Amino acid sequence: MGADTDPSGIVTYSLAGAMYGLDLLWVCFLSYPSMVALQLIATRVAAVTGVGLTENMREHYSPWLFALAVGRFLIANTLNMAADLLAMGAAGQLIFHGPIALFTVVFAGASLALQWWIPYARYARVVKWLCIALFCYGGALLLGDFQWRMAGWRAWVPDITWSESFFAMLLAVLGTTTSPYLLFSQAEQEVEERKGDGSASQADASQAADDTRHLRRLRHETLIRTLLSNATGALILCASAATLHAQHAPLDSLQDAAKAMAPLARGHAAQVLGIAILGTAFLALPPLAGSAAHAAASSFHWTRGEQRDRRIAVVLVVLTAVSAAIALCFDGFGVTAVRACYWSALVNGMTLAPVLVLLVLLSHHRKAVGQLKTHWFVRALSWLAAIATGAALAAHGVMEFV
């Protein structure tokens, strides 16, 4: 849940609720089936081929399409990491007081040290407890005067405002809800797990049965994890709508965003939000950096092995350092964490459709997945996500010139 809802996601959902109330709540609910379908496709492709998504794209698509996908991925991930690091700096200021730049550097170094010396699964078991602070949004709804009947209606019935700003926010919410980096990260994790287990991509009948059971388990895990992620986003959006939007309060800083927790956390709302930001960022930064580093490795045709892993580690360090430098530049030029996180989500949303199309086409590709083509219903849901994102982007472009 924490890695799926990073600081950029927390801020974007807060902005959506503060600016448009419950009008965008339907995204959290109607996107759920397509999100599950996309993650299942990413996992299946990795399980069948034994390599990640970027390597599959390099093998089965033209060089310019592959370069487009990887270039988009590196830019979006670097900006996302920079926004998350800046949010960590702002969170550190909420909790400990002091300069944002100092906390940004400290937390960037801490994240890098954790990734370098401690296996992600081990420290994630500890850091994830910080994400319990996110449930304060649910408590704030229970204690406040929330329109539950209206929320139930808005959850399933879209309410669209035909304006450029609305479609920009819609793209930002789609970008942070779909979280493209998680698709690539999940595929790489599947490859690493199968490599550790010694599983072959082409197996006999008994191995095929094991693969079927493994994919069934992954399907159940994906259903639950995605449900928790979307539910968390819905809680943040609803709490912000019930407080910030209802009071016509501005949202220019994390201090403003913390007011959505005030009905429960009261005078400690800023500190509670700071803890949630740090917890989700420490969980999200490794998948962000790792998936981008693996994408770069695929571009250079590095063969899998210890040497490739060392090179990926170097790329990961460079990406983290570059992201920290961008975050410091944002702070130096007066760009707030709220604005940086929103920009990051918007970039993800505006560049999402082509990546989704390539992913779904990959699931059709017999050379990539052999006889185990993805079920037509899963592909239909994934096409729906790609078409909806493309339509939102087109509407945004039209509204910008109207």
pLDDT in tens, 168-216: 999 999 999 987 788 888 788 877 776 665 554 444 444 555 566 777 7
Letter for the amino acid at 82?
A: A
pLDDT of residue 202: 45
Residue 208 forms part of a structural domain: yes
Residue 66 forms part of a structural domain: yes
In terms of residues, how long is the chain? 402
Residue 1 forms part of a structural domain: no
Owning domain of residue 189: 7-401
Which domain CATH number covers 153?
A: 1.20.1740.10
Q: At what angle do helices 32-49 and 53-60 cross, to 10 degrees?
A: 70
pLDDT of residue 50: 79
The counts of H helices and E strands in the chain are 20, 0
pLDDT of residue 134: 94
Give, in order, the Cα–Cα distances in Å from 335 to each of 49, 64, 176, 273, 328.
Answer: 43, 34, 20, 20, 10
pLDDT of residue 389: 93
The DSSP symbol for 243 reads I
Q: Identify the segments of the chain with pLDDT beneath 70.
A: 1-4, 194-212, 301-305, 366-374
Q: 392 Cβ partners below 8 Å, 6+ apart?
A: 167, 170, 171, 174, 349
Distance between CA atoms of residues 195 and 327, nearest Å: 36
pLDDT of residue 200: 46
Closest to 399 measured CA to CA, from 161, 158, 157 = 161
Residue 284 forms part of a structural domain: yes
Residue 161 forms part of a structural domain: yes
* Structure-token pair, residue 151: 């929320």
Counting the structural domains of the chain, the total is 1
Residue 2 forms part of a structural domain: no
190, 43 contact by CB (below 8 A): yes
Q: Considering the entire predicted model, what is its pTM?
A: 0.92
Average pLDDT, the chain: 87
Residue 387 forms part of a structural domain: yes
Q: At what angle do helices 164-178 and 205-240 cross, to 10 degrees?
A: 140
Residue 281 forms part of a structural domain: yes
